[in-house]
Amino acid sequence: MLTPYTNLYAGLNPHLKPREPQVQNARTYPWIRNPPQVLCHALEIKDRICQTFETTGRLFEQHTVAFPFQEREPVYPIGVPVVDVNYLWSSEYFHFFTEVLPNVLFLKEPHPIYCQISPFTVPLFRWFGVQNQVVATIPHFASRIRARYAECGNPSPEKIRALRTVVGSKIIPEKRHGVLIHRQKARALLNEEEVLATLKTVYPELEWKVFDLPSLEDTVDIFSKAAIIVGPHGAGMTNMLFSAVGIPVVEFMPLEQPNLCYWHLSEVLGNRYFMIPTPSARDYCMRVDCATLSDFLTQSVGKL
């Protein structure tokens, strides 16, 4: 059954509430998604998500979503055009990378780009070949062009393919080492050293890299050589865009605040996604049961 494009993540966190959750009068194309693989607390995760946004029940079975086609030739008004790709969460790494940046890649004219500027904004634009001027304010004489379909938390496969096309033209991914993503504040792993030791025990043939917000060049280098990505829910997971197709992605999810945006990204990229829901404490920080983790990696993820 074909379901219309809807922002399925609108209710998962307070910041994921779009003004128009469903695209109206848009050309759409179908895309099949498989359900996330949830290690434990699967019913509780499903209940929490379905309580916040009732239509997400279909996420836990194979389903088809109709995504909108991205506009490639916007109609420019009279005046000096500035392309507005700014919205509430466009300064956040995941949203900028997967939702804003592809909108700019689709443009054919070198008009200035208006967006919230973060430390990664211009470096990512330049790495992906965007040479447009980036402005933090729109001049009073400019005509604003609003980029459409900022699919908050649920970027279309069309957008992800555009990113991967550029990545594929610049790097050749390998599968050399494991990557454990480090977080310092919210959703940090309280026993990260124990988790790392477990990963080394289960996969002794791999060298393990702890990812801790290096430069963009180092980020690309680390993730382009990843044989497996492990980490807590957070922006670092977005960098699987630089990795080889089909690798395992293991995400520790705060049981009290589940969010499926990295399952969606993994599914679009063709990776093997696994969620390990974990009870959390203050700021949704988690302490992982490493005995369970070891059994899960051995039995479910298997050899790399």
pLDDT, tens digit (0-9, with 9 covering 90-100), for 190-238: 999 999 999 999 999 999 999 998 899 999 999 999 999 999 999 999 9
Nearest Cα to Cα of residue 194 among 227, 230, 219, 223: 230
**Tens digits of residue pLDDT in 65-84:** 777 777 665 555 556 788 88
- CA atoms within 13 A of residue 72's CA, in its CB half-sphere: 8
pLDDT of residue 42: 85
Domain boundaries along the sequence of the chain: 1-69+172-304, 80-148
Please state the pTM of the whole predicted model.
0.89
First and final CA of the chain: distance in angstroms? 35
Q: What are 243-263's pLDDT values in tens digits?
A: 999 999 999 999 988 888 899
CA distances, 231 to each of 32, 65, 181 (Å): 26, 28, 5
Q: How many C-beta neighbours within 10 Å does residue 44 have?
A: 14
Residue 14 pLDDT greater than 60, yes or no = no
Domain spanning 1-69+172-304, CATH class: alpha beta
Identify the CA nearest to 243 among candidates 162, 181, 159, 171. Answer: 171
Instruction: Provide the mean pLDDT of the chain.
Output: 84
Tell me the per-residue pLDDT of 56-66, one tens digit each, with 9 for 90 and over: 556 788 877 77
For residues 254 and 188, what is the distance between their CA atoms, to the nearest angstrom? 10
What is the pLDDT at residue 219?
97
Closest of 245, 230, 260 to residue 94, by C-alpha? 260
For residue 4, pLDDT beyond 50: no
**CA–CA separation, 223 and 225 (whole Å):** 5
Q: Which tokens belong to 88?
A: 């509430």
